[in-house]
Amino acid sequence: MRSNIGLTLASATSLMIGLGAASAADMPLKARPMVAPVVAYNWTGCYIGGNLGGKWARTSDVVNIPTATGPAGTSPASVLDLGNADSSTFLGGGQIGCNWQSGRVVFGIEGDAQAQRWRRTETIAGVLPALFVPGDIFELRSDWQASVRGRIGYAWDRTLLYATGGVAFTDVQAYTNWIPTVSGGIAFPGTITSQTKTLVGATVGAGVEQAITDNFTIGIEGRYTWYGRETFDAGQLATFGLRNIFTFAPTTRDVRVETAEVLLKANWKFNSGPVVAKY
């Protein structure tokens, strides 16, 4: 009797274990949790934007009156160094460029142009070299600048720190007013001359740019530019006179220009979309 009861219990236990194993086999396995990919900003793409800032220009100006020989005689040479002077201006304009990102390094090229208005005016007075008279006016002015530059930077996701350098252009107008004067009873005529040239120089700088959205970025950039020395025509000056017959000298001005500026920039980027970082 006990033997039959034991056999029955063993059979029931085996049946329950078998049913439990079958049920467990039919249950779906729990999937491993998905790790969301880390999305990094992609600086690759072209952009267009505007800028606004301030500029400081330092100029040196040397006025030359060469020796001249004419019907009225021979006049001496004379030189007036007007020295260095600083000017400042607001400036604003736009830029266009393209970037390409490889890893964290970003390469780019950018062109920009700005309107500006810096000016230096010297009205001479006091004790002067021969042939210069108090009241003569020498002015320099500029209305625009532009540049074409390369860029290389390092990106921390949406923040880009970069260096930039290239070629710069600016207009400079040299205005010269030799005023009429009387010397030795002879009335010397005055003359007014203005010459404008486009100067070409080198520019270097650095900046930081921040992506606010996938398409909109803002930044700040500082640059230093030097244009070397350029010679401007200052007009024909009556340097010697006798009985209303004059000797004229072809005067010139040697001008050197260097500038520094800070620009706030905003860009709309036509990007290629975010990239998925691989870990």
DSSP 203-261: EEEEEEEEESSSSEEEEEEEEEEEEEEEEEEEEEEEEEEETTEEEEEEEEEEEEEEEEE
Q: Classify residue 57: in a domain, yes or no.
A: yes
pLDDT of residue 37: 60
Q: Which pLDDT score, from 0 to 100, does residue 3 have?
A: 46
> Which residues, given as ranges, of the chain have pLDDT below 70?
1-38, 272-279
Q: 211: domain CATH number?
A: 2.40.160.20
Note the pLDDT of residue 19.
46
Domain limits for position 113: 40-276
Provide the percentage of residues in the chain whose pLDDT is more than 90. Answer: 79
| 144, part of any domain | yes
What is the predicted pLDDT for the residue at 141? 98
The pLDDT score that the predictor gives to residue 36 is 57
How confident is the prediction for the chain on average, in pLDDT?
89
Query: Is residue 140 one of the residues assigned to a domain?
Result: yes
Residue 106 within a domain? yes
Q: Where are the alpha helices (DSSP H) in 33-115?
A: none
Task: Tell me phi and psi for residue 46, to 5 degrees.
Answer: -105, 160
Tell whether 108 is covered by a domain: yes
- Say which residue the tokens 């210069």 belong to: 132
Inside any domain, residue 17: no
Q: What is the DSSP letter of 17?
A: H
Q: Does residue 191 lie in a domain region?
A: yes
Residues 6+ apart with CB under 8 A from 42: 101, 271, 272, 273, 274, 275
Chain-centroid distance, C-alpha 229: 21
Q: Which tens digits make up the pLDDT trace of 226-237? A: 999 999 999 999
pTM given for the model: 0.83
What is the reported pLDDT for 275? Answer: 60
The pLDDT value recorded for residue 184 is 82
Domains: count for the chain: 1
Q: Are 277 and 267 in contact (CB under 8 A)?
A: no
**What local confidence, expressed as pLDDT, does residue 244 receive?**
82
Question: Is residue 155 exposed (0-12), middle (13-18) or buried (19+ Cβ within 10 Å)?
Answer: buried
Q: How far apart are the first and last CA of the chain?
A: 69
